[in-house]
Every structure is written in C-alpha cells, then in structure tokens.
Structure 1
Amino acid sequence: MARVNALIATRMASEHAPRIPEVTRHLVEAGGKRLRPLLTLAAARLCGYEGEHHVRLAATVEFIHTATLLHDDVVDESSQRRGRPTANLLWDNQSSVLVGDYLFARSFQLMVETGSLRVLDILSNAAAVIAEGEVLQLSAARSLGTGQDTYLQVIRGKTAALFAAATESGAVIAGAPDSHVAALRTYGDALGIAFQLVDDLLDYGGVSATLGKNTGDDFRERKMSLPVILAVAQADPEQRAFWTRVIERGDQRDGDLEHAQTLMRRHGALEETRSRAFARADEARAALAALPASALRDTLSDLAGFVVSRVA
C-alpha cells in the first residue's frame, strides 16, 4: 500500500493545473478505508503474483473510486465526505467534475501500462457499470415504485462493481486459473453488496463522527435505499402518505427523520437490512473456499466480517 500511495501521489500531479492535485489530495488524504486497492493487492498475492502490475491496478481502482466520489458529491449536492467538507463545497462543482474526469483518464493510463487486454476489459467495464448504476439511481430515487430488484441493480453498479473488478483484476494479472478468478470476483461482488447494505443501514442509525457523513443524508436526499423500500412495502395508508410527502414530494419537516426511523423499526426494515448484509458477507466467505488455504485467504474472510461488524 505504501507503493500504491506513492504511485497515486505521482500520478495525480499536473504540470499545468495545480488545482488537480489540490482537489485530489483533499479527498485521497482524508483517509478512507482503502478497501478497493487492498483487495486488488490481496487477490494478486493470494494467487501467487510477484510482479509490480498489481500496484498499478490498485492505484487504478482507487483513482476510479475517487473520481466517482467527486462526481457523486456534485450530483448529491453533498457537503461532507469522510468527516470533511466536500471538494465541491471548498472549490466548486466544475472543479470536482473536471478533476474526476482527469482521474478517470489517469486510471486508464495505468490500466494500459499493465499490458493486459483482459484487465483493461474488466476495469473499463466496471467504470461503465458504475456510471450506469448512478444514472439508474437518479431515475429510481424519489419514487415509491422503486423495488428491491432495482435497488440491487443500483448498488451492484455504484459499489459492488468496483469491489468485484478489484479482486478479479488482481487474480487475472497473477495468471490465476479461471476457477480462482471467478471465485474472487464472486467474493468482491458479495462483499461490495454487504458493504453498501451496511452503509445504507447506518444512514438511519449510525454516528456521524464514525461514518464521516451526516446521519440521515440518504433521507434528506430522498434515496430509495433498502430500509425505505422495506418500510414502504408494509406501510398502511397513513404511513404511505408520510413516505409520499417526504420522499416523492420532498416536503420534509422537523422530526420526519425520527418518524421514518420509528416506522423502519416497527416494520423490521432495519433488522432485515442487517440480516441481508450478514448473508452477503457469508456468501463472500463461502466463495473463498475455492481458493487454496492461506493466511491471506483467512484475512479476506476476516475482512468480510469487518465490513458487517459496524452493525454487529
């Protein structure tokens, strides 16, 4: 990871536009769990890789992730990310969008440097799926008609796609057999879904200092996350009228977030979301059984537990 961080610092530089490293550094150095690049490194090493290309791929994955965060904060009009003001708040929307574009371009340069057409296919496809998921979320948000299938498609795009690409590309660069590549892709996909389910759950019951965002952000942005979808599915006419007002019409008042949380608890929506997150973590762990036993495989298994431990 030290080599990955050094490569990120080098590649986010710009000879002619100093704002690019300023904006990027603000987000990259804010912390974050660095799960995606770690997954790439771990997958490659788990498959016996001893070269240097996994470092490039890990930096690629982090650049794609950072670019999507910059764009997301503009789309969502967010003011906080990882406990700090967002780049679009400190600079402006134009800078966030254009620096995000620059990071996407840098990520493709790094992919090409590996010389693997298969890796380029995996990561470029993931970038397209991420964008597709974000656009789908735009059309699905603020509509009580959004169902669980659409929600799953959204989070597969916006989160799980990059987790899966991170683990799959690490295995591919190592020349792993197809069965191991498939197992690590399944692991990344399930881990990413678990991660997003936990994130959506914490938005209705987390602590801002721990999350690096404000509790209730999804509610204020009127997102149809799983806790809302489950609560709406069981709502009586009075409760549905409440959800219509706060989600579809955007008429939110003092105490509405707390009332939403009450309805979610009453209908078991929060507990059901938690249960599904744990099921996906179990699915991720099960996928690792196809890989040779090793300390690194055990670490990846433990990571699945860590992802859901935030709501344990």
Structure 2
Amino acid sequence: MEACLPADLSSKKVLLIADSYGAETIPLLERWLPSDQIISIVTGGCVPIYPESGASSRPESCQRLNRFRYDYIAEREDLEAIVIVSNWRHWREIDMVSTFDYISSLGLNLFVVGARPQYSENIPELLDSPIGPQVYNDLSRYHVYDVHEKNAQLSEIVGSYDNSYFLNVLRAFCDEVCPALMPDGQLIYMDSAHTGPVFANYIADHLEAAQPDVIAALQSVTSNNNRETSVVEAEASTALSLRLECEAINESLPAITRRFASSLEQGAFAVRLGGPDEDRYEYWDGTIGADGTVSVRGEYIEGLSGLRDIQLDGRVQDNGVVASGNRGVRSCELFFD
C-alpha cells in the first residue's frame, strides 16, 4: 500500500482519510491549504473506522486498508492534522469514540467533516421522472437515515475532544428543506449522495461564512509563522490558539473547555462561530493593549441557554492565562496556547 503514496512526503502536513466522499473533499482542502501539503488515503466503500477487529462485516481489503491508514498516522511524526470525511450513516457512537480517541492520543489536530444527506433514489433520475417537479424543492422524504440527528451526535462527540474541530456542512445541503438544486439552479447530486466540484465550492463558501474560526484553525496547521514573536509585539497577522476553561456549576453541568482559532492583527482578535439562530454560537471580540492588557466582550448561545454575555479582562502572563471573568453564569479563564 505504501507504493500508492507519493515518494516524497516531507512537505505533507495534513492527511485526509475517507471513503468515497473524499474525492469531493479534496477541492475543499485545496481551497484553504497548499496542495503540496495534503496527502489522502481514500477508498470508496471503505468506512475509515478504528480499530479494525478482524470480525468486521467490511471486506478484508477494507480492513487491511484501515489498519494501514491508522498505523501510518502513528508512524508519521511530522503530520499536523487529520481530516476525516465519511458516510456517517454507517458509524455507531462507539466507532466515533474509538476512532477519535486514537487520533487524540497521538496529539494531532482533528477536523471532522459532518454528516450529509443520503437518499433512497438516484436524484437525477428522480427529477427526470413524472414526480420530479413535485419533489425537487425538498427531498427529505427520501432520506435513508436521520441526517440531522446523526450530525448533532457527531458534533457533540467531536466537541468533547481537545484540538478537534467540526465542519458543519449540513447547512449547505439542507436548511428547513433539502433541495435538489443549488440557488443558481444547478443540480447538487450526481447520484443518491455524491456531489461534484461546483457544489464543493458552494460548501466552501458556506463554511467560510459560518465557521471562519474553524477554517483559520485548519490553515494554521500549515502556517510557517514564527510563534517566538510575542503576541503583543507582533505587527503582522499572527495565528492565535485560544483555550477557554470554565468552572463547573453543579454535578449535572461539569467544567468545560472550549478551543477557538483566531488571528491577532493590530492588537485585535475575534471569534466567530455559528449564528444567533443556531444551537452553538460564539461572537466575541478581544483586544491586547501595548501594555499587555487584554479585554474580551461578546455573546454566545450553547444548547437551550439562550443568548448570554462573555466578559473577560486581564493581562498577558508567562503562565498563559491572559484574562478571566464570566461566560454566562460560569467563571472562566482564557489562555493563549
């Protein structure tokens, strides 16, 4: 299997592992990352679950490939990030946890591309049938699994890991309905699930608008910025990795850690995650003064809590703590990692 990989791997920093959805994910990654820093191990019909027990219902060739994929991750000490995209319909919670546990144990950044629809019908053929004019505006009746439920489950699990990021592509496919056509009238699907390069660009536009912090985190893994320069002294844009640690409220609401990617430019940084009509929303702005003072103000939504304020103040310190204050009713500390 090694023969399928490029001879020179020295520049490869990001590994894509995927089933057949990988082919349409590569154009997404190449929009945000240098193509010479991406390597992919992609095979249609082979769901990239770890570990392979040998008792799997998947073909032996797929089991061998998965063992190779995950052994390869452990062997490559110069990898910075793993991107996983798959037909999540076939994943159980135990599969997600075991796979993400393994990647997390290696200290790698993990980017998970979320769930997307799969249909019981070939969509181009369906639209050409007599019923096509009646269903093209909403294909939801043909879903073969509850994509919204699976996407929410996946997002929650990914969010429980440090240095892990969830790319919520579902909103590009479905909002209140799941149409067959893009806003400009072009067909989204090539069959019952797969899309083409035009829709890949549409997904990229959506993610850049809805999750700029996640895109910034992905881009930062291949950045050559010199992080030895003090964030206070930096004049050019500098990537920031922010960690927010908040205390427990009670036994049912334990302590939480949230990680965000941002950039510092002319003493200012920002976090933009989701929107005010979504279950997860972060919108806050921070400043770092010439004397090292830090101020953060903003708002957030998480779950059913409604809109709440974030207010943090402090100073850049050697121990990494830069500000403290409140995120809603929780007391929190902000770190620059």
Give the structure-1-normalised TM-score. Answer: 0.26
Higher helix share: 1
Of structures 1 and 2, the one with the larger relative CO (CA 8 A, separation 6+) is: 1
Give the structure-2-normalised TM-score. Answer: 0.24
Rg: which structure is higher? 2
Higher strand share: 2
